[in-house]
Amino acid sequence: MKLHQNKSVAAITLGCKLNYAESSAILDNLCKLGWILSTGDGEADLLIIHTCAVTQQAEKKCRQKIRSLIRKNPGSRIAVIGCYSQLHPETLSKIDGVDAILGSNDKFDSRWYNHIFQKETSTPLVKVTPADSNTAICQGYSLPAHASQDRTRAFLKIQDGCDYGCSYCTIPLIRGRSRSIPSAEIVERATLLASSGYREIILTGINTGDYRHDNMRLCALLRQLEKIDISRIRISSIEPDIVDHELISLVAGSKKIVPHLHIPLQSGSDTILRAMRRRYDTSHYRNKVVLAVERIAECAIGADVMVGYPGETEEDFLTMYRFLEELPLAYLHLFSCSVRPGTHLARQIEKHECKPLPSEEITRRYRELVELGYQKERKFKLPSVGNVCTVLFENSRPQKKGGYQCSGYTPNYQRVIVESLDRNRIQSLTGNEHPVLIESIDEDLNLKGRVLS
């Protein structure tokens, strides 16, 4: 079915890397059906806003962004899609200016974007099918042919949904149960991305490490992807129970799988981990992290940490703080606990089995961990000063003070900035890997250096 010829489309993506991968696929499919990708120089006929609902704060930011984009694009039709649409379509339907609300599965159906221009009322189109529907199991994985000329890193979706059932998490309600893409399709798409000029592929999913299809698990898939002519393969995030000796040995011996693992922790208190229904304890987590750092050269490990889980005592918090202090982590991704509707935690609170912490107490604990995270990241990055790192440069831009800068990432995910008065020199870096002598680290913990080639 051909869609509107000569209609322009653009997407604004909020949330996780998986959302970015899916936005790319949605735009690609629309372009194949006759839409024109907006260059950003003017209003698009259709503006797609891809939302996140992992926390209440994420939802608030989505609402603010939606209203802001409606004001800035009065001539655009607005489609709000994704996790927030799946969880709270009735809330979004009350925002004046929204033309369509499409859930986690429905966002891949190109017919609904066409229908936006055919409907005769101001009432938004709402299409939200159950999350466990398999209609979109193999949707959203095609090459983003609309991508910019700076083809550096590409997100490749290999899995969706989750079976873990953590007490606080609403993702299974939004995304459904875990399911994976056939390895042959993943390898085909990865090969196409590599031949299109991308230098790094980031494997994404809701529970990426839970990849399984026809008796193939993640390590076997990674071995197939290693055969592709690509510089870097990165795993976006992986649960602690899946980080085993096989995976660590594979990454340690690979020339393509980068030495960077993001391993969610959530809490450093065994009491809270049990309450969260996590599948490990602190001893298990510590052993995995220490083994990875010992076996994988220059390995950077990041961790998600939740602050203020209902029932978290001061002793629990101090136990977590000390646990984090001792771990060889490169950075922390911190967020406050948010009670999500429909979760086990929400039901516990309704039954008065536990109660949320005072907001001021959560804020205090959050700030203490922010400072700890800053110190840990600085400690990890300081040894790079004076050394040469390989940087894959992503973008360049002019500076307010004059001159130009280009930034990129090392294999172990350290951001590096180089500066120059030579615009052509800076622009030539984009999309390429270069050795960089690291000369300093700034207050924002960016590494700064000069290109050696």
pLDDT at 138 over 60: no
pLDDT tens-digit readout, 399-422? 988 999 999 999 999 999 999 999
pLDDT confidence band for 4 (50 / 70 / 90):
low
* Prediction pTM value: 0.89
pLDDT tens-digit readout, 18-32? 998 899 889 988 988
Lowest mean pLDDT among 54-58, 239-243, 289-293, 367-371: 54-58
pLDDT confidence band for 116 (50 / 70 / 90):
very high
pLDDT, greater one: 366 or 150? 366
pLDDT, greater one: 10 or 135? 10
Give the pLDDT mean for 292-321.
97
Looking at residue 320, what is its pLDDT?
98
Structure tokens at 378: 């600085």
Give the pLDDT mean for 249-265.
98
Q: Are 261 and 233 in contact (CB under 8 A)?
A: no
Q: What are phi and psi of 89, to 5 degrees?
A: -65, -30
pLDDT confidence band for 38 (50 / 70 / 90):
confident
pLDDT confidence band for 50 (50 / 70 / 90):
very high
- For residue 52, how many C-alpha atoms fall within 13 Å in the half-sphere facing its CB? 19
Looking at residue 132, what is its pLDDT?
64
- Full set of structural domains in the chain with CATH: 8-127 (3.40.50.12160), 147-237 (3.30.750.210), 260-280+287-384 (3.30.750.200), 385-451 (2.40.50)
pLDDT confidence band for 221 (50 / 70 / 90):
very high
pLDDT confidence band for 292 (50 / 70 / 90):
very high
Distances (CA, A) of 99 to 92, 120, 174, 347: 10, 11, 21, 33
**Nearest Cα residue to 73 out of 40, 104, 120, 100:** 40
Burial of 311 (0-12, 13-18, 19+ CB in 10 A): middle
pLDDT at 142 over 60: no
Residue 242, helix vs strand vs coil: helix
Burial of 359 (0-12, 13-18, 19+ CB in 10 A): exposed
Looking at residue 42, what is its pLDDT?
65
Structure tokens at 113: 């974007």
The rounded Cα 18 to chain-centroid distance in angstroms is 6
